[in-house]
Amino acid sequence: MAMKSNIALSYIAMLSVVGFFLWVIRNFVLALRKKNQIIPVISASDQTTEEDKKTIDWAVHIFLSKEDDIPIPGRLISISKAYAFMESSACLKTDQEISLYVDVQGRDQVRLTAKVIWAREGRDGRNAAQLSFINHSVDEKRNLFQLA
């Protein structure tokens, strides 16, 4: 009887050690994934200085796909000539393309197509994202920046 309990205890000990090492490896891999997702890659021509960025508060209606007919509300909080920052309740993914209808004060709605550069949880618990306006000319981006 004592022999069977010793074998059972040795199996339990072995499984505990294996489980511990699997837990360490899992946490190490998750930390590497998080580290790789946070760093956005922006070309030197797209980087802007503080005077090239304007703080705004424009309401936005987000459509996640071309077939999507339910808008998700959000807000553009800052804009530059190359990109914009947005807060919304939408769960966005890096490299996702979205359609936006922007309510600019004193103007008609502006329809934009954007690519998500990065997305994460924002300061107040809402999702935040950096957007790049991919299908728009330099003049269209400049005009939008001047409206701010």
Lowest mean pLDDT among 1-5, 127-131, 143-147: 1-5
Give this prediction's pTM. 0.60
Higher-scoring residue by pLDDT: 6, 57: 57
Average pLDDT of the chain is: 81
What are 75-85's pLDDT values in tens digits? Answer: 999 988 888 99
| pLDDT above 80 for 44 | no
- The rounded percent of the chain whose pLDDT value lies above 70 is 83
Q: Is 73 helix (H, G, I), strand (E, B) or coil?
A: strand
- The ranges assigned to domains in the chain are 1-39, 50-147
pLDDT of residue 73: 92
The SS3 assignment for 53 reads: strand
The hierarchical CATH code for the domain 50-147 is 2.40.10.220
